[in-house]
């Protein structure tokens, strides 16, 4: 008989509860990252306009790193101009 550890079960339930059918993958996230950062810099709220990207960034460390790198690069660029 297969036994499921409580923490594994918890993780499984968490995944089911937090995974939504409208979730995007890294490719889609990367493709929309420019716009997301632009909106942020324009003082808009991209989390509301692009909730899928926002949600992906919360879940995916790789894309979040990319997002932060892009953001700091743009901030650096805008300081020069």
Residue closer to Zn ion by CB (options 29, 50) is 29
CA 51 to centroid of chain Cα atoms: 9
Place of tokens 């990367």: 30
CB of 59 to Zn ion, least distance (A): 8
Task: Concatenate the DSSP letters of all residues of 1-47 into one string.
Answer: -----HHHHHHHHHHHHH--TT---HHHHHHHHHHHHHHHHTT--HH
Q: Nearest distance from residue 29's CB to Zn ion, in Å?
A: 5
3-class DSSP state of 50: coil
**Minimum CB distance to Zn ion smaller for 10 or for 58:** 58
Q: Which residues bind Zn ion (CB under 5 A)?
A: 26, 29, 60, 63
Nearer to Zn ion, 10 or 23 (CB): 23
Least separation in angstroms between residue 63's CB and Zn ion is 3
Q: CB nearest Zn ion: which residue?
A: 60
């Amino acid at each position: 008989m297969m036994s499921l550890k409580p923490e594994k079960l918890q993780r499984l339930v968490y995944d089911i509860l937090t995974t939504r059918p409208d979730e995007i993958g890294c490719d889609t996230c990367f493709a929309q990252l420019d716009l997301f950062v632009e909106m942020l810099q324009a003082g808009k709220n991209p989390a509301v306009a692009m909730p899928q990207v926002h949600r992906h960034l919360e879940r995916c460390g790789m894309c979040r790193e990319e997002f932060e790198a892009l953001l700091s690069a743009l901030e650096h660029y805008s300081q020069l101009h």
